Structure 1
C-alpha cells in the first residue's frame, strides 16, 4: 500500500523526482538528477534511477526525500477514505487510481486536499 501511495504521489507531481526540468533551480534534488540520471524523464526511468542511486544523493536531497516521505504518509492517512469512497472499485496499476483521484479532486475531503497542498508546498521548498 505504501508503494501505491508513493507512486501516486509521484504521479501527482508531489515528489521531488518528478518533472525535473520544470522546477526552480533551488530545488533540493535538481543537481543530483542532472549528475546521476542525466537525460532521464519522469515516467521513463527517472524515479528508478534516483532510487538506485539513493546512497549517492546529496545530504540536501536525502533530507528532502525524507521530508516528502513524511508528507506522503500524512497524505495517505488523510486521503485513504476518499480513495476508498471514490476509487475503491478501480483496479490498481498503470496509474488508474491516480487518474481516478484526479477526476474526483473536487470531491475530496478538506483534510485530503490540505495534505496534498502541504506536500506540494514542501516539494517546492516553501
Structure 2
C-alpha cells in the first residue's frame, strides 16, 4: 500500500513536473509564484506545492482534485503492473513513476490507457 501512496502523490502532482517542462496547466502560475525559488529535482517543487496547498488557486485545486479522482482508476488498472514490473523499485523521489514510464511497453493495455488519460488531464486536454 505504501507504494501506491507515493505513486498517487507523484501522479497527482505530476502536473507540477509538466509545469517545469513548460507545458501549460492550471498550476503553472501557482508553481511559479509559490515555488519559483525552489531548485527543481528530487521532488522539491512537489513538496513545496504540497506545503502550500492552502494557497493554491481554485483552478489548481480543482485540477488536483480531478487528478486524485482519476488516480482511483489508475490504481485499479495498474496495480498488478506496478507489483510485477516495478515491485523491486524503492519508492520515493519519483522512482516508481520513472520505472513505469521506462517500462511503458510492458504495461497492460488498461494501465497504459489510464496513464494516457492522466497525461491528457495534466496537459489540460
Q: TM-score w.r.t. structure 2 length?
A: 0.82
Which runs of 5 or more residues in structure 2 are unaligned? none
2:77·2:114 contact (CA, 8 Å) conserved in 1? yes
Q: Structure 1 residues 124 and 42 mapped into 2: Cα distance closer, same or farther (>3 Å)?
A: farther
Shift of 1:95: 4.1
Shift of 1:44: 5.0
Q: Structure 1 residues 114 and 56 mapped into 2: Cα distance closer, same or farther (>3 Å)?
A: same
Give the secondary structure class of the aligned counterpart of 1:17: helix
Q: Aligned pairs, how many?
A: 121
Q: Structure 1 residues 78 and 49 mapped into 2: Cα distance closer, same or farther (>3 Å)?
A: same
Root mean square deviation of aligned Cα: 2.1
2:26 aligns to what?
Answer: 28
2:89 aligns to what?
Answer: 90
Offset from partner CA, 1:14-62 (integer Å, 9 cap, x none): 72111424112xx201111111111322535111111111111111110
Matches of 1:45 and 1:93, distance apart in 2:
12
Q: Which is richer in helix?
A: 2
Matches of 1:47 and 1:62, distance apart in 2:
14
1:1-126 to 2 correspondence within 5 Å?
1=2, 2-9=4-11, 15-21=14-20, 22-24=22-24, 27-40=25-38, 41-43=40-42, 45-126=44-125
